[in-house]
A and B are shown apart, each in its own frame.
Chain A
Amino acid sequence: MNLILFTFIVLLGFTSYYFGRKKAYTIQSTKKRLTALPQFYGYYLAIWCAIPAFIIFSLWAIFEPTIVKLLVLSDYSNQGYLDDELNLIYEKTKALSRGQFTGEITPFIEASAEKYLSLRSIAQSSKVVIVLSAIIASVAYAYKRISSNSRTREPVEKFLNAVLFTASLAAILTTVGIVFSLIFQTIDFFKVIPLFDFVFGTHWYPAKAFVRDSSEALDPSMYSDTFGAVPIFAGTFFIAFIAMCVAIPIGLMSGIYLAEYASYKVRQYAKPLIEILAGIPTVVYGFFAALTVGPFLKELGTSMGLEVSAESALAAGGVMGIMIIPFISSLSDDVITSVPQSLRDGSYAMGATKSETIKRVIFPAALPGIVGSILLGVSRAIGETMIVVMASGLAANLTLNPLESTSTITAQIVVILIGDQAFGDPKTQAAFALGMSLFLVTLCLNIVALRVVKKYREKYE
């Protein structure tokens, strides 16, 4: 139904464009000077067709469900139901009206389902009538305006400008959405679990916290020693540290080699090949770490008499390091190539060898940019999910032994939220609190890194 209406309105838009342009030609044929190109007359009409339709559609989308719900539930208003029960009744009503209801059908619910359906159809038809009449009215108004040959290009361009501006707000909206989705659950979580326990507690067993009934959920004593995030944070930074131990030397050295030593040919082939590593989906790395690297390390360790967990932090961190190599190598490559040639020439003129020039002149000059690229790499390592979910442990051990298994923020979020979630359960809220801390940590890293890189670029531009 909505689709038909939508198509019809789009068709109306095209027709009004056509009539607008035709009107312009008629005006032109009377030897009057047009105020804009004929198609602007068309655009003008089409925009006047689109705006009311858009407004009314959005109003309906926002208010129709709430109003219908209010009206349906008004039958139950003075019978002393709780809010939750009313919601349940409403869900049942909706399910019944869609024919998907499986439980016992009471006459009350049947009556409300009928009411629901009739309200919906009233809403639908009134929407059609209102949309169409609004469109006709606004197009008629616009047609009158273009008949008197008033300006059309300026309003059309203003409208386009407004559309462009709105689109550019999408990035801000996304950020707001992220903060919005995280913050409420996080606040609810800290109402039950004191912030102190979360930040300094050393035991993390979210599985212990399942809600038995709704009265128990808010009893904080039940969750003491359950949501201490220290092992998680430690595990996250530990695995990221292992990853950087692999990624920094290899990435940095290959970046330096590509920028300073490699011939054009080597650079042409090696650079895109290394960048393939960045294009491989992380779930593939996770599979590789879990099925190849983990067992391999375990076997290697056993042959050396060491006890290695199959889900060791080393396997996850090492593979993550491989994933981060291309980020560091291509960023540091860029940074090094943008160091001015005069610095190199000065150093060579003093008799320095190439490596001395790199170590003593270029590297210090490029250091801020390199630090920025490493920070971006760290932020990626901390936020990486699939590798740790698949290859590292799921139990949060507080350990600094790379051969044991640990868990990370991202892995815990996935473990908690996989499958069905009940909002309002401290366990679910814990995942959002972890997400919030992840967002904040990476946000700080990103802002610092981006600022450092930008400052550095400006220095040599």
Chain B
Amino acid sequence: MNKNKEQLLNKRYKAEQRFRLYGQSAIFMALLFLTIFIFKIFSTGYSAFQKTWLIVPVNFDAELMMLDENPTKQDIEDADYYEIALQSMWNLDPNANEDQQNQLKRMVSYFFEREIKQELLKDPNLLGKTKEVYLTASDDLDQVFKGNYPRDLPEDQRRVSDYQLKIFDQLVANGNVESKFNISFFTNADSREAELAGIASSFMGSIFSILVCLMIAFPVAVLAAIYLEEFAPKNRFTDFIEVNINNLAAVPSIVFGLLGLGVLLAIFQLPRSTPLVGGITLSLMTLPTIIIAARASLKAVPPSIREAALAMGASRMQTTMHHTVPLSMPGTLSGTIIGLAQALGETAPLILIGMVAFVNTIPGSPMDPAASLPVQIYIWAESAERGFVEKVSACIMVLLGFLIIMNLFAQIIRHKFEKKWS
């Protein structure tokens, strides 16, 4: 009898331990996913912050550039750089045949002549002389140099030919290939060429959308929260508003995209693909989040504050505007920032209102077509070229960086400025 009891107890303790283990492994799994995730993004993305340059001697031959003697600045601006650019690439292998010459040209980026032009504009005295110029390597060579491109594939499955690799290896051996910090990733707009593509346009698009979203969602949400928390009578209608808000917070984001498309674009005829429309759409999405946060922090202000103000003869509006609302602001602001962070990471509604258009200029206002950071991630992720993979990861790193900063900021506001009542 006693033995039976002991067995039973042992069994129960074992079950207890098993259950505990399930719990621990669930937590472990969740954290493991997070770690794999971040590791994967960082390990593929960090190399995008470096860019490979080929150092090529360029002969600034005035004749080939169709320049007269003593050219003016305008002449240099208008000169033909393609020929000398081509010549300098061909000079890497003087014995190249026509096909090989073509391959040589494709070792550098598509706009290599522009880089040569910049060099001359910087120093017009170079005319007629030879100088070693840094040219952006093509994205495939860039990947080869970073070790992301398998060299042992058969040649016809590679985008880099054996010949190009041979010349490239010579350049490497001579120390004429250099890897430097990739500034153009942050200053260039999107491009079809992976080595030139940057996040400047989508970054500005994101900033503009978020600003528009903030300017619409914040005031409306705060006013609505004040009304619902401080003034609204308890009746069916306010209940209905409540249900609406809670429900909107859980409506899939893509439905807001359909709203933007069907109402903002089709009926109000706002310009397509612009951060203005994107911002309005996002503001409708963030509205419930901010309202809920603002209401929670208004609720957290103790009634004694209101009673004290009313006792001093303040009207209800004065009590609210002078005391309750300022005291609730830290909570509201941190909720707003979290809502904006969500909006910043949103992709689907922006795709529907056309912010996926290819934009190779940096938008100067919310009325110019633009992409946004998450949409840029989507666009690049859909591109087949290998060079874009690391760009996607790098863009994700930038986006996650912003999200982390925003969330930290929200935390700081909450902890530093929020009054603890008790």
Contact = CB atoms under 8 A, between A and B. Distances in A.
Same complex for A and B? Answer yes
Interface of A: 153, 157, 160-161, 163-165, 167-172, 174-175, 177-178, 180-182, 184-185, 249-254, 256-258, 261-262, 270, 273-274, 276-277, 279-284, 286-288, 290-292, 322, 325-326, 329, 353-356, 358-359, 376, 379-380, 382-386, 389-390, 410, 413-414, 417-421, 423, 431-432, 435, 438-439, 442-443, 446-447, 449-450
Given A178-B256, A292-B40, A284 B399 contact: yes
Contacts of B327: none
Nearest to B263: A181
Given A261-B23, A414-B348, A161 B241 contact: no
Nearest to B246: A450
A443 B288 CA distance: 15
Interface of B: 12-13, 15-16, 18-20, 22-27, 29-31, 33-34, 37, 40-41, 219-221, 223-224, 226-228, 231-232, 240-241, 243-248, 250-259, 261-263, 266, 284, 287-288, 291, 315-317, 321, 341, 344-348, 351-352, 354, 356, 374-375, 377-378, 381-382, 389, 392-393, 396, 399-400, 403, 407
A213 B316 CA distance: 63
B378 A353 contact: no
For the complex of A and B, 4 pairs with smallest distance between CB atoms? A383-B252, A257-B23, A281-B345, A181-B262
B255 A439 contact: yes
Nearest to B216: A170
Given A181-B259, A283-B374, A292-B40, A439 B251 contact: yes
Contacts of B241: 168-169, 171-172
B26 to A, nearest CB: 4
A168 B237 CA distance: 11
28 contacts: A153-B315, A161-B231, A164-B226, A165-B227, A171-B288, A175-B244, A185-B262, A250-B29, A251-B30, A253-B26, A253-B27, A257-B20, A284-B41, A284-B399, A287-B393, A287-B396, A292-B40, A322-B30, A353-B16, A356-B12, A376-B250, A380-B250, A383-B252, A385-B254, A389-B378, A442-B251, A442-B252, A443-B251
Given A165-B227, A170-B220, 17 more contacts: A171-B245, A177-B259, A178-B255, A276-B34, A280-B345, A281-B399, A284-B374, A322-B30, A353-B13, A383-B255, A389-B378, A390-B378, A413-B258, A420-B354, A439-B251, A439-B255, A450-B250
Contacts, number: 260
A281 B346 contact: yes
Contacts of A283: 345, 347, 374-375, 377-378, 381
Contacts of B396: 284, 287
Interface on chain B toward A: helix, strand, loop, or mixed SS?
Answer: helix
Nearest to A164: B227
B224 A164 contact: yes
Given A288-B40, A390-B378, A385 B392 contact: no
B347 A386 contact: yes
Contacts of B377: 281, 283-284, 287
Contacts of A290: 381
Contacts of B345: 279-284
Nearest to B252: A383
A182 B243 CA distance: 20
Contact of B352 (A379, A417, A443, A446): A417
